[in-house]
């Protein structure tokens, strides 16, 4: 199964903000250190932008929510894994489309 980070960038590879996004996710997963969260947030904003932070926060929130649901259900669901795989493909496709639209409107995107 591919992850979003592996499919998000045209031509494959790792997302340019992979390290910063991962650092923020790990910091939020251990919320006892609020300073670490603040530092990771700042690093993501410095290298990325507000939208990268919003996307990351949304993903972290989604995973926190679905973890609660799965924990309460107490079982593994192959259907849930398939759904996540489809979601990753949809997100990847949306990002590719966004880049094509931006390029067609003469905006340079790295």
pLDDT tens profile 69-104 = 877 777 677 777 788 888 888 888 888 888 888 778
Contact 98, 107 (CB under 8 A): no
Residues 6+ away with beta carbon under 8 Å from 60: 24, 25, 28
Confidence at residue 24, expressed as pLDDT on a 0 to 100 scale: 92
Rounded-to-integer distance, Cα 20 and Cα 50, Å: 13
Q: Looking at residue 107, what is its pLDDT?
A: 59
State the DSSP H helix or E strand holding residue 62, giving kind and residue range, or none if neither: helix 50-73
Cα Rg for the chain, rounded, in angstroms?
16
pTM to 2 decimals?
Answer: 0.55
């Amino acid at each position: 199964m591919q992850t979003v980070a592996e499919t998000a960038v045209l031509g494959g590879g790792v997302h340019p903000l992979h390290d910063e996004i991962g650092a923020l996710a790990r910091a939020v997963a251990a919320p006892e250190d609020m300073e670490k969260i603040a530092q990771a947030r700042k690093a993501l904003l410095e290298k990325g932008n507000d939208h990268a932070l919003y996307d990351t926060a949304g993903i972290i929130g989604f995973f926190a929510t679905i973890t609660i649901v799965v924990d309460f259900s107490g079982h593994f669901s192959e259907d849930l894994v398939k759904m996540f795989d489809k979601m990753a493909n949809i997100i990847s496709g949306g990002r590719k489309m966004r880049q094509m639209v931006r390029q067609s409107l003469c905006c340079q995107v790295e």
